[in-house]
């Protein structure tokens, strides 16, 4: 009988905790996770967080470099500090 040491899996474990950045796009979120998490997993987590009210869609942006495809949605955590500009009345 040979003792074979288990190898470290490249994928993240099932049910891993996911902490969302203050603002992000799906592409940026996947880069943060070093592409070890499948897109559909992140998409479903974001979709559930939107439904629960933890995230909001704050707008859309065009990609930084030219590529095919649509504009990317920008997500913001609901508890993130929002910078508001106020005009001082003189």
Alpha carbon distance 41, 35 (integer Å):
11
Q: Domain for residue 70, yes or no?
A: yes
Q: Domain for residue 18, yes or no?
A: no
- What are residue 41's phi and psi, to 5 degrees? -65, -45
To the question of pTM greater than 0.75 for the whole model, the response is: no
Q: Domain for residue 29, yes or no?
A: yes
What total of structural domains would you count in the chain?
1
- Of 20, 18, 17, the residue nearest 57 (C-alpha): 20
Q: Domain for residue 86, yes or no?
A: no
Q: Domain for residue 40, yes or no?
A: yes
20 or 87, greater pLDDT: 20
Asked if pLDDT for residue 65 goes beyond 50, the answer is yes
Q: Domain range for residue 34?
A: 23-77
Asked if pLDDT for residue 23 goes beyond 90, the answer is yes
Q: How confident is the model at residue 90 (pLDDT cuts 50, 70, 90)?
A: very low
Helices (H), 1-90: 26-32, 39-52
Q: Domain for residue 5, yes or no?
A: no
User: Which of helix, strand or coil describes residue 16?
Assistant: coil
Asked if pLDDT for residue 77 goes beyond 90, the answer is yes
Average pLDDT over the chain, rounded to an integer: 82
- 25's tokens: 């796009």
- Of 36, 30, 34, 46, the residue nearest 12 (C-alpha): 36
């Amino acid at each position: 009988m040979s003792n074979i040491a288990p190898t470290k899996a490249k994928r993240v474990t099932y049910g891993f905790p996911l902490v969302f950045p203050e603002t992000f796009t799906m592409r940026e979120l996947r880069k943060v996770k070093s592409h070890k998490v499948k897109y559909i997993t992140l998409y479903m987590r974001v979709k559930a967080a939107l439904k629960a009210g933890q995230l909001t869609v704050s707008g859309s942006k065009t990609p930084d470099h030219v590529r095919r495809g649509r504009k990317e949605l920008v997500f913001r955590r609901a508890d993130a500090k929002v910078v508001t500009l106020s005009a001082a009345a003189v």
